[in-house]
C-alpha cells in the first residue's frame, strides 16, 4: 500500500512547485474539494431448503472518497488543471468463524494543460491510476495505468475542421500478469461545404502490444460520410440523402493460437420486458454502437433503473456470425460487490419481431469487470446468430454499497468472435457501405407521398462473408375530412447473405376515425412475409384501438387484435388474440389511479396464455407527503398465478425540503427457480447545509426460491461534503 500511495509524491510536489512559480497576478480560477464517507452493516442468513442448514454472514463496509480539483488561467486561452482522486474501501466479513478482510486503495492524480480559442484547440494530459488491493490469505496486488494524451484541433472559418489525437497507455501490475501498451492515433475532419451538404472523415489506428505473450494487434479504420438535405418549391418537396463507408483492417503478429476480433454491429437494440424468451421486438438504440464509451445510452441498470422489469440489451450483427464474447460498457467504475451482483443471461434469435423466439445460451454470474476499463466482459459458448442480447435486472438495493450507485448507465455494447491460428496469419478486412435516399412530397394540403431507398454492402475477409441489402419503401398519407384519415406503407427488402437470397415484404394500412373530440378509433392491418431459398414465414396482424375521454380527468383505451403467425421451419399457423384495456382516473389533484388488463392467448393450436392485471395509485394529500401503491397479477399457462405488491411513502416535514423521510416495500419475481424477492425499509436524506449532506437507510430483504431462502438486513449511512 505504501508504494502505491507514495509513488506519486513527485507529482504532488510538481503541482505545488508549479503553483508557487506562477506569476503573482495569476489567480486561481477554481479550487474545489469534495468527498464522501460511507458505512454499511449487512447481516445475511442463507437457508438450504433441502437440508435445512443455515449459514450466517456479517459484513462491515467502510468507504472513503476524496477529490481535489484546481484550475488556473495562466494566460488568455491557456489553462492549467490539476486533480487528485483518492478512494479507500475496506470490507470485513465473518462467516462460520472465518474472518475475511478486503482492503482496496485507489490514487489517481491528473495534470492537464489546455489551449482553447475560437480557431485552435490543443491539450496535453497525464493521468496515473494506482490500484492497490489486499485480501486475506491472498497476495497483495498493485495495478498501475499511465496515460499520456495529446490533442490538437483547427477550426478555420469556411474551411474543413480537423482534430488530431494521440494517446499512449501503459498498463501493468506487480505480479507480472499484465504488461500491455496501447497506442491510439486518430484524425477527424468535418466540413460543411454549404448549408445543406456536410462531409465527415475519421481515421483511427490502434496498436496493442502485449509484452508478456509477445502478441501484437494493429487495428486501422477509415470512415467517411456525406449528408445532403434540401427542401424545394416552398417546402412541398423534401430530399434527404447520405452515403457512408467504413473500411477497417486488423493485423496480428506474435505467438498465439487464437485471438478475439471485433464484429460488425448493424443495430443496437433495447427493451424492458419480463419475458425475454419471446416478443415483443426490441426497439432500436444506436447509441449502443456509436463508438462512444462514456456517453449514456439512456439505459440505466443502477438503483434508478426499473427494478421490477428485466433489462434486455441487444445487437443486430447484420448477418449470421460466430460470436462468443460481449463487452458491455458503463459510465462509471463499480465496486467489486456491485459488479459481481449482476447476472447476465445470453439469448439468441434469427430475427427480432413481436413473435420472435429467443433461445437461452448461457447465464454468466458474475462477469469479470475491468480493472481500469468500465466494462463487463461476458464470455459464453460460441454461437452462430444474427441477433443476440444480454438480459439482467437493475441493481438490487440489498447489495453492499448499492446506495452509492443510484445510476449506472450503459454506454456501449461490443461483440467479439474467436479466429483460429490459421486466420491470424491473414489480414482481417471489413468493408461496410450504405446509401440512403428519402423523398417526401406534399401533393396537396391533404395528401403526402413518400419514397425511401436503402442499399447496404458488407464484406468480411478472409471469412468471405458478403451481404447485400436493397430496400424500397413507398408511403401514402391522406386526410379525407375532419373525421377520417388514412396512411399506408409498403416495403420490399432484398437480401443476399452467403449466396442465400431472401425477399421480405412489410406492409401496413391504417384508418383513423375521429368521431368526437372525446372519442377516436384506429384500425390497423399489418404484416410481414419473408421467403428465402431455404425457408419462409408469414405474419399478419389486425388491431383495433379505441381511445376515449369519458369525463374530465378520466380517460381510457381498449385494444383488440388478432394475429396469424407461421414461423420459419414450420407448416403450422398459430392464431392468437390480444386484448388490452387501460384507464387513467384523476378525480382530484391529490389522487391518480391507473388500471390495466392485458390478455395474450394462442388459440390455435391451444398452448399458451398470459393474463396481466395492474392497479396503481398515486396519492398526494399534502405537498410534503406523497404515497403510491402498485398491485400486479400474472397468470400464465404452466405457472401458478403470481402477485406482487409495491408501496412507497415520501414525507418532507420542512418547506425547503432539507429533510426527507421515505419508506419502501417492493416485491419482484424471477422466473429462475421461481424466486420472489421482498425488500422493505425506511430511510431519510438530510441537507445539513450548502456543504454537507447526510443520508441513512435500513432495509430487510428476503429472496425465497425453490431451493433456498436468503434473508439480509442492511444498515447504510453516507456523509458527503462539497467545498
**Residue 6 belongs to what H/E stretch?**
helix 2-6
Establish if 224 belongs to a structural domain. Answer: no
Domains in the chain, number: 1
Res. 28: pLDDT tops 70:
no
pLDDT reported for residue 87: 92
Query: Do 723 and 691 meet the contact criterion of CB atoms below 8 Å apart?
Result: yes
Q: How much is the pLDDT for 177?
A: 87
Q: The CATH number of the domain where 327 resides is what? A: 2.60.120.260
Which contacts qualify for 157-164: CB closer than 8 Å, 24 or more apart? 159/191, 160/189, 160/190, 160/191, 160/199, 161/189, 161/190, 161/191, 162/187, 162/188, 162/189, 163/121, 163/187, 163/188, 163/189
Is the pLDDT reported for residue 639 higher than 80?
no
Query: What is residue 3's three-state secondary structure?
Result: helix
* CB contact set of 106 (below 8 Å; sequence gap of 6+): 85, 86, 87, 88, 129, 130, 131, 132
Stated as kind and residue range, the H or E segment containing 338 is helix 336-339
In the predicted structure, residue 138 carries a pLDDT above the cut 80? yes
Whether the predicted pLDDT of 112 surpasses 60: yes
Q: Are 478 and 472 in contact (CB under 8 A)?
A: no
Return the higher-pLDDT residue of 570 and 551: 551
> Is 400 domain-assigned?
yes
- Residue 509 in this model has a pLDDT that exceeds 90: yes
Q: Does 260 map to a domain?
A: no
Question: What ranges make up the beta strands (E) of 255-374?
Answer: 258-262, 267-272, 283-284, 299-300, 311-330, 344-349, 359-364
Task: Compute how many other C-beta atoms are within 10 angstroms of the C-beta atom of residue 109.
Answer: 21
Q: How many residues does the chain have?
A: 723
The answer to whether 178 and 370 have CB atoms below 8 angstroms apart is: no
- The better pLDDT of the pair 670, 183 is held by 183
Question: Tell me, what's the pLDDT at 76?
Answer: 85
Q: How many CA atoms lie within 13 A of 179 on its CB side?
A: 9
In the predicted model, is pLDDT for residue 407 greater than 60?
yes
Identify which has the larger pLDDT, 451 or 354.
451
Q: What is the per-residue DSSP string for 486-516?
A: EEEEEEEEEEEETTEEEEEEEEEEEEEEEEE
* pLDDT score of 375 more than 60: yes
The predicted structure's pLDDT at residue 122: 95
**Whole-number Å distance between alpha carbons of 117 and 73:** 13
pLDDT-based confidence at residue 463 (cuts at 50, 70, 90): low
Q: 624 near 653, Cβ under 8 Å?
A: yes
Q: What is the pLDDT of residues 207-260, one digit of tens each?
A: 999 888 888 889 899 999 999 999 888 888 999 999 999 999 888 887 766 677
| C-alpha cell belonging to residue 464 | 468471405
Give the pLDDT score at 655.
80
Percent of the chain whose predicted confidence (pLDDT) is above 90? 49
Q: What pLDDT, on a 0 to 100 scale, did the predictor assign at position 421?
A: 64
Domain residues for the domain of 401 are 267-421
Dist CA 708 CA 670 (whole Å):
14
pLDDT digits over 574-611, tens only? 888 889 999 999 998 899 999 999 988 888 776 667 78
pLDDT band at 671 (very low <50, low <70, confident <90, very high): low
Compute the distance between CA of residue 452 and CA of residue 402 in angstroms, rounded to an integer: 47
pLDDT at 719 over 90: yes
Residue 372: inside a domain, yes or no? yes
Q: Residue 606's pLDDT is what?
A: 66
φ, ψ (nearest 5 deg) of residue 337: -65, -40
CB 227 within 8 A of CB 242: yes
State how far the alpha carbon of 119 is from the alpha carbons of 80, 150, 165, 437, 592, in Å: 19, 17, 17, 34, 55
Is residue 29 very low, low, confident or very high in pLDDT (cuts 50, 70, 90)?
low
Task: For residue range 89-105, list pLDDT tens digits in order.
Answer: 898 988 888 888 989 89
pLDDT of 672: 56
The grid coordinates listed for 181 are 501498451
C-alpha cell at 639: 405457472
What CA–CA distance (Å, rounded) separates 403 from 405? 5
Q: Is residue 152 part of a domain?
A: no
Task: Return the pLDDT at 293.
Answer: 86
pLDDT for residue 27: 40
Q: Is a pLDDT exceeding 50 seen at residue 41?
A: yes
Is 699 inside any structural domain? no
User: Which cell is 173 given?
Assistant: 501490475
Q: In the prediction, which pLDDT does 345 show?
A: 93
Average model confidence (pLDDT) for the chain? Answer: 87
The mean per-residue pLDDT over the stretch 638-667 comes to 87
- pLDDT category of residue 638 using cuts at 50, 70 and 90: low
Whether 365 is covered by a domain: the verdict is: yes
Cα-based angle 482, 484, 487 (whole degrees, multiple of 5): 125
Neighbours of 402 (CB within 10 A): 21
- Could you read off the pLDDT of 144-191 as tens digits, one per residue? 999 999 999 999 988 899 999 999 999 999 888 889 999 999 999 999
Residue 703 CA to residue 708 CA, distance in Å, equals 8
Number of H helices, E strands in the chain: 4, 37
Write down the residue that cell numbers 475477409 correspond to.
461
* Cis before 462 (ω within 30): yes
Asked if residue 49 is part of any domain, the answer here is: no
> Which tens digits make up the pLDDT trace of 61-70?
899 999 999 9
Rounded to an integer, what distance in angstroms lies between the CA atom of residue 377 and that of residue 415? Answer: 10
Q: Is the peptide bond before 641 cis (omega within 30 degrees of 0)?
A: no
Q: What is the pLDDT of residue 584?
A: 94
- Band (pLDDT 50/70/90 cuts) for residue 403 is confident
- Could you give the C-alpha distances from 131 to 100, 169, 264, 286, 339, in angstroms and in order? 20, 16, 34, 34, 17
* Residue 365 binned pLDDT confidence (cut-offs 50, 70, 90): confident
Q: Which residues of 542-562 are buried (b: 16+ CB within 10 A; e: fewer)?
A: ebebbebeeeeeebebbbebe
Task: State yes or no: pLDDT of 10 exceeds 60.
Answer: no
Amino acid at each position: 500500500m505504501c508504494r502505491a500511495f507514495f509513488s506519486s509524491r513527485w507529482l504532488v510536489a510538481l503541482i505545488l512547485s508549479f503553483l508557487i512559480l506562477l506569476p503573482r497576478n495569476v489567480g486561481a480560477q477554481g479550487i474545489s474539494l469534495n468527498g464522501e464517507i460511507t458505512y454499511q452493516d449487512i447481516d445475511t442468513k442463507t437457508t438450504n431448503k433441502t437440508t435445512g442448514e443455515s449459514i450466517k454472514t456479517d459484513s462491515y463496509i467502510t468507504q472513503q472518497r476524496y477529490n481535489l480539483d484546481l484550475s488556473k488561467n495562466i494566460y488568455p486561452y491557456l489553462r492549467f488543471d490539476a486533480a487528485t482522486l483518492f478512494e479507500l474501501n475496506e470490507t470485513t466479513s465473518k462467516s462460520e468463524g472465518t474472518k475475511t478482510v478486503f482492503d482496496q486503495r485507489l490514487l489517481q492524480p491528473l495534470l492537464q494543460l489546455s489551449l482553447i480559442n475560437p480557431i485552435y484547440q490543443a491539450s496535453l494530459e497525464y493521468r496515473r491510476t494506482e490500484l492497490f488491493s489486499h485480501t486475506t490469505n491472498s497476495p497483495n496486488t498493485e495495478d498501475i495505468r499511465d496515460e499520456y494524451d495529446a490533442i490538437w484541433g483547427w477550426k478555420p472559418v469556411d474551411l474543413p475542421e480537423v482534430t488530431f489525437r494521440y494517446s499512449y497507455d501503459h498498463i501493468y501490475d506487480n505480479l507480472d500478469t499484465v504488461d500491455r501498451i496501447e497506442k491510439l492515433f486518430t484524425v477527424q475532419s468535418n466540413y460543411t461545404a454549404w448549408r445543406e451538404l456536410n462531409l465527415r472523415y475519421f481515421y483511427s489506428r490502434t496498436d496493442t502490444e502485449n509484452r508478456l505473450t509477445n502478441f501484437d494487434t494493429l487495428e486501422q479504420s477509415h470512415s467517411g460520410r456525406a449528408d445532403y438535405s434540401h427542401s424545394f418549391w416552398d417546402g412541398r418537396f423534401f430530399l434527404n440523402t447520405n452515403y457512408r463507408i467504413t473500411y477497417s483492417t486488423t493485423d496480428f503478429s506474435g505467438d498465439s493460437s487464437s485471438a478475439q476480433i471485433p464484429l460488425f454491429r448493424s443495430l443496437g437494440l433495447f427493451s424492458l420486458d419480463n419475458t425475454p424468451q419471446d416478443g415483443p421486438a426490441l426497439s432500436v438504440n444506436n447509441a449502443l454502437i456509436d463508438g462512444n464509451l462514456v456517453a449514456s445510452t439512456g439505459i440505466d441498470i443502477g438503483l434508478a433503473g426499473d427494478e421490477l422489469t428485466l433489462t434486455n440489451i441487444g445487437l443486430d450483427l447484420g448477418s449470421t456470425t460466430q460470436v462468443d464474447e460481449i463487452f458491455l460498457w458503463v459510465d462509471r467504475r463499480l465496486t467489486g460487490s456491485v459488479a459481481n451482483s449482476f447476472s447476465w443471461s445470453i439469448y439468441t434469435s434469427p430475427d427480432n419481431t413481436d413473435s420472435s423466439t429467443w433461445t437461452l445460451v448461457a447465464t454468466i454470474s458474475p462477469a469479470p469487470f475491468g480493472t481500469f476499463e468500465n466494462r463487463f466482459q461476458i464470455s459464453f459458448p460460441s454461437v452462430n446468430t444474427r441477433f443476440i442480447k444480454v438480459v439482467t435486472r437493475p441493481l438490487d438495493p440489498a447489495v453492499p454499497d448499492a446506495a452509492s450507485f443510484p445510476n449506472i448507465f450503459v454506454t456501449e455494447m461490443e461483440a467479439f468472435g474467436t479466429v483460429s491460428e490459421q486466420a491470424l496469419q491473414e489480414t482481417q478486412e471489413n468493408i461496410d457501405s450504405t446509401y440512403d435516399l428519402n423523398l417526401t412530397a406534399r401533393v396537396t394540403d391533404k395528401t403526402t407521398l413518400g419514397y425511401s431507398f436503402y442499399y447496404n454492402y458488407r464484406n468480411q475477409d478472409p471469412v468471405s462473408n458478403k451481404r447485400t441489402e436493397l430496400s424500397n419503401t413507398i408511403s401514402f398519407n391522406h386526410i379525407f375530412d375532419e373525421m377520417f384519415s388514412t396512411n399506408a406503407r409498403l416495403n420490399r427488402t432484398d437480401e443476399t447473405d452467403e449466396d442465400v437470397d431472401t425477399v421480405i415484404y412489410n406492409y401496413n394500412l391504417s384508418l383513423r376515425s375521429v368521431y368526437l373530440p372525446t372519442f377516436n378509433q384506429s384500425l390497423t392491418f399489418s404484416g410481414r412475409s419473408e421467403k428465402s431459398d431455404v425457408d419462409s414465414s408469414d405474419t399478419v396482424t389486425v388491431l383495433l384501438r379505441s381511445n376515449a375521454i369519458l369525463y374530465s380527468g378520466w380517460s381510457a383505451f381498449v385494444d383488440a387484435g388478432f394475429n396469424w403467425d407461421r414461423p420459419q421451419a414450420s407448416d403450422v399457423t398459430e392464431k392468437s388474440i390480444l386484448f388490452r384495456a387501460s384507464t387513467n382516473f384523476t378525480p382530484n389533484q391529490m389522487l391518480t389511479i391507473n388500471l390495466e388488463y392485458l390478455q395474450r392467448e394462442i388459440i390455435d393450436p391451444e398452448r399458451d396464455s398470459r393474463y396481466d392485471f395492474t392497479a396503481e395509485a398515486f396519492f398526494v394529500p399534502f405537498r410534503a407527503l406523497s404515497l403510491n401503491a402498485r398491485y400486479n397479477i400474472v397468470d400464465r399457462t404452466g405457472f401458478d398465478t403470481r402477485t406482487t405488491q409495491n408501496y412507497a411513502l415520501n414525507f418532507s416535514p420542512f418547506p425547503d425540503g432539507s429533510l426527507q423521510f421515505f419508506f419502501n416495500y417492493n416485491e419482484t419475481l424471477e422466473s429462475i427457480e421461481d424466486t420472489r424477492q421482498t425488500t422493505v425499509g425506511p430511510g431519510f436524506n438530510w441537507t445539513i447545509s450548502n456543504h454537507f449532506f447526510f443520508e441513512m437507510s435500513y432495509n430487510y430483504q428476503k429472496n425465497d426460491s425453490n431451493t433456498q431462502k436468503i434473508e439480509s438486513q442492511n444498515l447504510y449511512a453516507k456523509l458527503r461534503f462539497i467545498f
